[in-house]
Chains A and B, each alone.
Chain A
Amino acid sequence: MTDLLQFLVAGLALGAVYALVCLGFVVIFRATGVINFAQGGFVALGAYLTHQFAVRMGLPFWAGVILAMVGVAGLGFLLERFVLRRMVGHPVFATVLITLGISILIEQFCAAVWGHDLLQMGDPWGVGTVVLAGVTIKVMDLWTVGSAAALLGLFFLVFRRSTLGVAMRAAAVDPEASLAHGINPAVIHALSWAIAGAVAVVAGVFLAAGPRGVDSTLSLISLRAFPAMILGGVDSTEGAVAGGLVIGLVEVLAAAYLTPNVPGLGANIHAVVPYLVMVLVLVLRPHGFFGTAEVRRI
């Protein structure tokens, strides 16, 4: 029982990370209709930048994270402004392909600057644990869940309550009508990319914190947020959070129970299970659990 509780906490922590990555996907998808494959690159770059500021330059950890967030958000903004905006009017697949190309460039930039070795994050939590009601929990997991909750809360507060959030939602629903109301969709698009970049950094930091370390596989791991996106429905921000949590739980539970008991499935079946869940969702409920079912008018 305590085992299960421990796994649940670990799963929620991983899920919170996926939720952040997935939120980045959804924010960009809602605003621009583009699936952003560079999100994985943002996650990796965020972790590397935090390493750079916090470890190599010796800044306080929180300052390193914030600087990395500003940096990657800026990169997202610039990419939208100078690359993706020029793709308006081109077929969607071309834009998606461009994000894939950008992702490779970011990954190779990281490899060129920081090399291929595993680097430390310089996070203040390390491998410490606390015991809560008989359950041993990593301090890092608590921080992950707490920070993700705070960040997601802030996002939803802005997204639901502020004028800016209303503008973002309006621009996603109908760019032309929102333009008529004085909302500039171009600004919203650039802002969406910046938000996606900023949340990706936090995801990257928590994905790489503790014993895990920073390396180039971060980008591949964060692609597992795609199943979360499908599960929650590609255009739902709430769905992104729910999907992320579910996928994180599924992955941790699969690693804990499936791998030792069914060795025939292979040692890292837990890395594949999220994708299998995604296929199942596509069969049963193709628009996800929170997404809007597709309606087309002819």
Chain B
Amino acid sequence: MASYRLTTEYRHDQRLFRTPLAKAGMAGLGLVYLAAPLVLDNFWMTVLIQAGIASIGALGLNVLLGYTGQLSLGHAFFYGVGAYGAQVFAGRFGLPFPLWLVAAASVGGFIGGVVGPLALRLRHQYLAIVSLALLFVGNHVFENWSSVTGGLTGIAVRAPVAFGGLDVSALRLFGVAFSRNQGWLWFVWAVAAILALAVRNIVRSRPGRALQAIRDRDLAAEVIGVSQIQYKVGAFVVSSGYGAAAGALYAAYTRYVSPLDFTLFLSIQFLTMIVVGGVGSVAGSILGALFLTALPRVVEAVSAGLPFVAQRTGDWGITVSTLNTALFGLLIVVFLLAEPLGLIELWRRAKRYFASWPFSY
């Protein structure tokens, strides 16, 4: 049996599971996935569903930021496109489940493909500025195209998720009825797992190597024949499509969206997720999404005991929302300074320690 630790061939390096332990770990996660809806209460199920949706968005953004090195602030816009897309394709045109999700994601990807070449023809971090413009222009459209988006008041979304006779919102399996949250928890994380696998496959194959080459040394990448613009735009399209898919699921889950859901702060939340979770890591995106979806809820729960937080309006102290927003900013700064590779690097470091034990240093 070939050693699974010593990489002697490139295809060893590309394997999905490097060690049998990794396979076992994934199987364990699968069991957690199956059991979670049965043991968790409604509050934590909602948090986990939102985290699942967020991890899809974070995965897409990580393809762009983590693997291609391009910073985009427009992710909230694509999330919004997906959300309104869900309402248009499912609510208005009555497309069945997988189709409206694919259609909404495609619209996001298409817009990314149109805007991308504009923003990405220049080096430096132009995309950061251009995507900011996209966000503001997009939000203006969301607010004013009332016939589609409902304007500032928002719009009720009807995007049913049902396939093969199974309605996720009212799941019945083997004669047992499950709640909406239980069904959605299974559903969202199944979608997230499929999309995570897709990203993993992109980044460990030829296009992924091209993206990482551009990120690490764009000039050298171009010299060895990697078309910079082609791959950068490709990454932007994938990231936009993922953002739109996440938005579509968000709209289908919350059943109501308004332009206030898709502000600059949402983009910053996604960026915080991948910085905290792990830039350039699939598992890191998911970890970050979990951590930062749960954090505001936890802060809300413990803020009652914090002396510097105002409990009622008019009290002395800062509000919970100010505290939560500031935490996002603080986490970005602290992680980039102290642990630029994110939480996932802590895990990797622990793994390395035990892998080389007892000679670890």
Interface residue ranges, A against B (CB under 8 Å): 33, 35, 37, 83, 86-87, 90-94, 96-98, 100-105, 107-109, 111-112, 220, 223, 226-227, 229-230, 234, 265-269, 271-272, 275-276, 278-279, 282-283, 286-287, 294, 296, 298
Decide: B219 and A111 in contact? CB cutoff 8 A. Answer: no
A267, B69: Cα distance in complex, Å: 37
- Supposing A272-B137, A282-B118 touch, asked if A104 and B268 sit within 8 A by C-beta, the answer is yes
**A230 to B130 alpha-carbon distance, docked (Å):** 9
Contacts A98-B333, A105-B333, A266-B140 given; does A93 touch B122 at CB 8 Å? no
Chain B residues within 8 Å of A227, by CB: 133
B interface majority secondary structure: helix
B329 adjacent to A101 (CB under 8 Å): yes
A272 touches B329 (CB 8 A): no
With A92-B125, A93-B125, A279-B118 in contact, is A104–B140 under 8 Å at CB?
no
B194 interface hit (Cβ, 8 Å):
no
Asked whether B132 lies within 8 Å of A226 as measured between CB atoms, the reply is yes
Which B residues are in CB contact (< 8 Å) with A111?
318-319, 322
Q: Does B129 contact A (CB under 8 A)?
A: yes
What separation, in Å, do the CA atoms of A100 and B319 have in the docked complex?
21
Pairwise interchain contact A100-B268, C-beta atoms closer than 8 A: yes
Which residues on the A side are within 8 Å of B122 (C-beta)? 286-287, 294
Rounded to whole angstroms, the CA-CA distance of A83 and B129 in the bound complex is 22
Distance, CA A112 to CA B118, complexed state (A): 39
Q: Please, which residues of chain B bring their CB within 8 A of the CB of A230?
A: 126, 129
A96 pairs with B133, CB closer than 8 A? no
Given the interface contacts A98-B337, A101-B332, A112-B326, does A266 sit within 8 Å of B136 by beta carbon?
no
Interface residues as binary, B110-138 with A (CB distance below 8 Å gives 1, 0 otherwise) = 00000000110111111011101100110
B329 near A108 with CB under 8 A, answer: yes
Contact B136 A93 (CB under 8 A): no
A33 touches B124 (CB 8 A): yes
The 6 residue pairs across chains A and B that have the minimum distance between CB atoms: A104-B329, A101-B332, A266-B144, A108-B326, A275-B133, A112-B318
The reply to whether A90 and B322 form a contact with Cβ atoms under 8 Å apart is no
* 0/1 string, B209-236, CB within 8 A of A gives 1: 0000001000100010000000000000
Residues of B within 8 A of A96 (CB): 71, 125, 128
Q: Is the CB of A108 within 8 A of B322?
A: yes
Provide 27 A-B residue pairs closer than 8 Å at the C-beta atoms, listed in order of the A residue: A37-B128, A83-B337, A86-B337, A87-B336, A87-B337, A92-B125, A93-B69, A93-B71, A94-B279, A94-B336, A96-B125, A98-B332, A98-B333, A100-B73, A100-B329, A102-B329, A108-B322, A111-B319, A112-B318, A112-B322, A112-B326, A230-B129, A265-B144, A275-B132, A276-B137, A282-B126, A296-B219
Residues of chain A contacted by B197 (CB below 8 angstroms):
none
Known: A96-B125, A101-B333, A294-B123. 6 other contacts (CB 8 A): A87-B337, A90-B340, A100-B73, A101-B328, A272-B136, A275-B137
Distance in Å: Cβ of B31 to nearest Cβ of chain A: 36
